[in-house]
């Protein structure tokens, strides 16, 4: 297809950035990206000095927030996987012939991991809802 290339105004791109990245200033993010592109040096986590432009500061803030979210997501998955494995092991242990004291302990482990798993699910649902806004 040999059609003309689409072009968008800075305002349209700013609005799209604000929709994609809630609680950001789309115009500043766009300005930071354009300045970075012009300088030819995209530093993902640049240390900003006192003279950094507001656009560079906003772009750096957005990137830090994104990386914090990625880290939180990785921790969430690691904890969920560990809890699932622990719960499975405790459930298997309940099937074994155990002394009453050990049976109560394994039952308590299963109950506690279920509660923690429920908390993790609520956090996941809350995170999904906040990302959709």
Q: Please report whether residue 123 resides in a domain.
A: yes
Q: Please report whether residue 2 resides in a domain.
A: no
Which range marks the domain in which residue 59 is found?
10-132
Overall number of domains in the chain: 1
More reliable by pLDDT, 127 or 105: 105
Q: What is the DSSP letter of 71?
A: H
Q: Please report whether residue 87 resides in a domain.
A: yes
Q: Please report whether residue 16 resides in a domain.
A: yes
Q: Please report whether residue 4 resides in a domain.
A: no
Q: Please report whether residue 1 resides in a domain.
A: no
Q: What is the pLDDT of residues 59-77, one digit of tens each?
A: 888 988 888 989 988 998 8
Closest to 117 in 3D by CA, of 83, 70, 82:
83
C-alpha neighbours within 13 Å on the C-beta side of residue 91: 9
Query: What pLDDT does residue 41 have?
Result: 64
Query: What pLDDT does residue 129 have?
Result: 57
For tokens 């040999």, name the residue.
Answer: 2
Q: What is the pLDDT of residues 86-126, one digit of tens each?
A: 989 988 988 999 999 998 998 999 899 999 988 888 887 76
């Amino acid at each position: 297809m040999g059609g003309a290339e689409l072009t968008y105004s800075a305002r349209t791109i700013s609005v799209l950035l604000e929709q994609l990245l809630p609680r950001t200033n789309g115009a500043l993010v766009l300005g930071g990206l354009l300045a970075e592109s012009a300088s030819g040096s995209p530093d993902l986590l640049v240390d900003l000095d006192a003279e950094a432009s507001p656009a560079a500061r906003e772009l750096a803030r957005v990137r830090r927030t994104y990386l914090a979210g990625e880290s939180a997501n990785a921790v969430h998955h690691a904890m969920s996987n560990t809890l699932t494995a622990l719960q499975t092991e405790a459930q298997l242990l309940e099937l074994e012939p155990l002394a009453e004291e050990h049976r109560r302990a394994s039952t308590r482990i299963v109950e506690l991991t279920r509660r923690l798993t429920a908390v993790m699910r609520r956090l996941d649902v809350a995170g999904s809802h906040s990302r959709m806004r």
